[in-house]
Every structure is written in structure tokens, then in C-alpha cells.
Structure 1
Amino acid sequence: MPYWHTPAAMGWVGGLGMLLLMVVILAAVVVVAVVLTRRGPQSPDPADTARRILDERFARGEIDQEEYERRRDALTRAS
């Protein structure tokens, strides 16, 4: 015997509540996905990598101060 015609049945309010619950769960999943992707490892900026390499070459003495400043200025203008 079906029970959906009894006074205890929730009718359309139950369906609306279920729809609302599904929307809330979907929104929570989207928020978690966005938070996890933003916290992931960030790829280094190519200009930062080039500047780091330039700094290392200057520190090792491979290039002099004039060459270092010229290349650093070129990198700054490029970014």
C-alpha cells in the first residue's frame, strides 16, 4: 500500500528540501575544489627564474658587475 497520500507525507516541500540539499552539497564540492587548486604548487615565473640564474652567475663570478646590471635592467624592462 503506498504511503504518499497520508498526512505524514511531506509533499512538494520534501522535494524542494531535497533539491536545496543537493545544491548545497554541489556548492560545497565546488568550494573545496577551488580551494585545493589554489593551494597547489605554483609554477615559477620565467622572469623570476631568469633573475635567479643571473644572481647565481654573478655570485659565482662568471659575470662582472657591469654585465650583471645590464642584464638585470634588460630583464626588468622585459617584465
Structure 2
Amino acid sequence: MDMDGMGAGGMMIGMLIWGLLGLVLLALAIVATIWLIRGLTGRGEPGTSETPDDILRRRYASGELDEDEYLSRRAGLRD
């Protein structure tokens, strides 16, 4: 008999609970690590990366570029 008087069955249940708790904590650590890495690298967010064409169109639409400069730069991207 063990010191608590629970017997082998109680000891096995205790080990199972501690084992499950350890697995849950390990899973949480893995998820937190992945979340942190994606947050630091800016990856994992859909639609956050702009292509050069997207940037050029946005700059033209905002009036930062005139039509001639837009067309010239767009032609340069196509080459």
C-alpha cells in the first residue's frame, strides 16, 4: 500500500491525470511557439503580402504616381 492509502488504482489515476496535464501543457507550448513565430515573421496572415504590382497600383490610385510614371514602372516590372 502507498502512503496515502489509495492503493494501486488511486496511484494509477493520479499518474494518468498528471500525464494528461503534461500533454496539455506541451500542446499549449507548441501552439504558443507557432503563434509567436508567425507573429514575429508576419506570416500566417492571409492577404498581408503585397506583390510589386499591388504596390504599384496602390501608389497610382493614391496619386503618388502619375500615369506616365505608373506605365513606365509597370513596363519595367513586366520585363
TM-score (norm 1): 0.51
Map of 1:72 onto structure 2: 74
Distance 1:73 1:22 in 2: 58
Q: What amino acid is aligned across from residue 34 of structure 1 in structure 2?
A: I
Distance 1:42 1:73, change over 3 A: farther
Map of 2:32 onto structure 1: 32
Equivalences for 1:1-79 in 2 at 5 Å? 4=2, 7-8=5-6, 10-42=10-42, 47=52, 51=56, 65=68, 68-73=70-75, 75=77
Question: Which blocks of at least 5 consecutive residues in structure 1 are unaligned?
Answer: none
- The sequence identity of aligned pairs, in percent, is 27
Higher RCO (C-alpha 8 Å, min separation 6): 1
The CA RMSD measured in Å over matched residues stands at 3.7
Total equivalences in the alignment: 66
Answer with 1 or 2: which has the greater Rg: 1
